[in-house]
Chain A
């Protein structure tokens, strides 16, 4: 018996990254922009998605994947809007992984232009898993507090866009929008920031436009590549 030292230097989540890259490549070729929504539970991901769905559907065909630990509730809410939605129930796992999304790809209708993935409500674990998205959005609702970006740095550092939700509550809360925005920009100077209220309809049109423009950019970028 002999000892052997094996230098590996492999990413532990490399297999997830590989699957995510395949998903991105496949959906980009099909003209589908993929958006991954991350936030803590109760920050308003599903309600925001309902407003986005109402804005984009049916002019811009979209599909939705809902991640939750249990229940079909969120997918049901989206289906009621007439949009295809799939529920992934992780049965306890705190995040979605690329292979879970990959399994659903054959079911996505050919005319789809946007795929929204609502991750399991959690501001920690989902940040480590690429799902093949083009845009990662992190949501922060006013009741959660303006100190969250630096407490959960990875989620904010790895996002492309920060969406403040429930902004209609800001007048009633000690929530400093500018402070929270600046903290997030410290972590990630390239963040695009949107201020929304799903209840009052604030910021929804701007956000929808951002997704539409991002898809146009993605397609133009492909043509040049």
Chain B
């Protein structure tokens, strides 16, 4: 349940970006949240909606794009998308996998009014 402190960090960035761009309002925020980011999107949404009150993003809509776990096998070069967290290549059985996506917790895009 650390979604609120993640939202607090998010607002530090949002407020800085709004200032840099002399925005009057933030109307939209899009995040990319990996399956293995350890974050519950619904909780993030709730935390965002309560945190945004009386900020420059008071009317902002939060969009969360969930990113599945994506890996590349270092042995057979297969690209794998997984629902479970078993880090074994289904093609060749190797455990030498490179994690490409699915850990991220990114602020992707902000819609501003300037």
Interface membership of B62, Cβ < 8 A: no
* B42-88 interface (Cβ within 8 A of A): 84-88
User: Contacts A153-B85, A187-B85: A8 and B113 contacting too (C-beta < 8 A)?
Assistant: no
28 contacts between A and B (CB under 8 A): A1-B113, A3-B112, A3-B113, A5-B109, A5-B111, A6-B17, A6-B21, A7-B108, A8-B108, A8-B109, A10-B106, A12-B13, A12-B106, A13-B6, A15-B12, A124-B38, A125-B2, A128-B2, A128-B37, A128-B38, A128-B39, A129-B2, A157-B36, A186-B85, A187-B85, A187-B86, A187-B87, A189-B95
Interface of A: prevailing SS: mixed
A16 to B13, CA, bound (A): 12
Considering only CB atoms, which chain A residue lies closest to B38 in the complex? A154
| Interface size band for B | 35 or more
Asked if A21 is at the interface (CB within 8 A of a chain B CB), the reply is no
**Footprint of B on A, CB under 8 Å?**
1-16, 93-95, 97, 124-125, 127-129, 150, 153-154, 157, 185-189
Bound CA span A14–B106, Å: 9
| Complex CA–CA separation, A93 to B110 (angstroms) | 28
Closest to A124 in B: B38
Q: How far is the CA of A167 from the CA of B113 in the complex (A)?
A: 59
Question: Which of A3, A5, A8, A125 is within 8 Å of B107, CB to CB?
Answer: A8
Interchain CA distance A186-B82 in the complex, whole Å: 13
